[in-house]
Homo-oligomer: A and B are copies of this chain.
Amino acid sequence: MTNNVCGTSRIVGCRFTLSVMSDDFVRVILSAIEETDTSKVWKQTDDVSTCIRGRESHVFDVVKAIYVAAAKTGKHVVLNGTFSIGCPGDSEGDVYMTEDDVVLNEEKARDTTFEVSTQFALYPMNTPTYMDIIADQVNVAKEHGTLTGGVHYATRLDGEVRDVFQTLQESFHNAQEQASHVVMTVNVSANSPSKKAN
């Protein structure tokens, strides 16, 4: 079975749900996607989630840009996503791997700053050293000043949206240098009416 074999391509994917806690959620989500330049990534939206695939730089750039565009409305916006590299073995979207690394949305996103609270988890597959790879990434969060603790099944980050996304991208990048197939789940929350836990 072809789907039992991990791919050799280093294409990165992110399947995510953007949740907007507002009656106006459809307009906010569609506007956020519309505002974002997705020309360097493979993109597919269905009724459950959106999937972005391409070079690591562009996948993180696009997901961050969509999130920033939605959350800058001030509404409570949550991104739940899974970043993945090294699997499955299909090649759909590989054409986007020939793009250069000039990101398209960074400049616009840079003007918008707000605090986010995040819980994320890394899963390096098929390696007995996976817990060490995960533990090493705590240093990335410390360097960016975003680490605010561990919770069951996840690490917590708090800070400016750009610093948190930078932490996520570097942690993912480092992990995939040590394991071929890496998965990272993220939960990014902005404008929550709930009091911060920490």
User: Which residues in A have some Cβ–Cβ distance to B below 8 Å?
Assistant: 1, 3-6, 13, 15, 17, 19-23, 25-26, 44, 46-49, 51, 53, 76, 78, 80, 82, 84, 87-88, 90, 92, 117-119, 121, 123, 125-128, 130-132, 135, 150-154, 156, 183, 185, 187, 189, 192-197
Contact = CB atoms under 8 A, between A and B. Distances in A.
Nearest to A117: B48
Contact of A19 (B78, B130, B154): B78
Nearest to A156: B48
A contact patch SS? mixed
Contact of A80 (B17, B121, B152): B17
Contacts of A126: 126-128, 130
A47 B194 contact: yes
A19 B22 contact: no
A3 B152 CA distance: 11
Given A21-B21, A88-B152, A48 B118 contact: yes
Nearest to A24: B23
B197 A48 contact: yes
Contacts of A130: 125-126
Given A48-B187, A125-B123, A153 B15 contact: yes
A195 to B, nearest CB: 6
Given A76-B25, A80-B17, A135-B1, A51 B194 contact: no
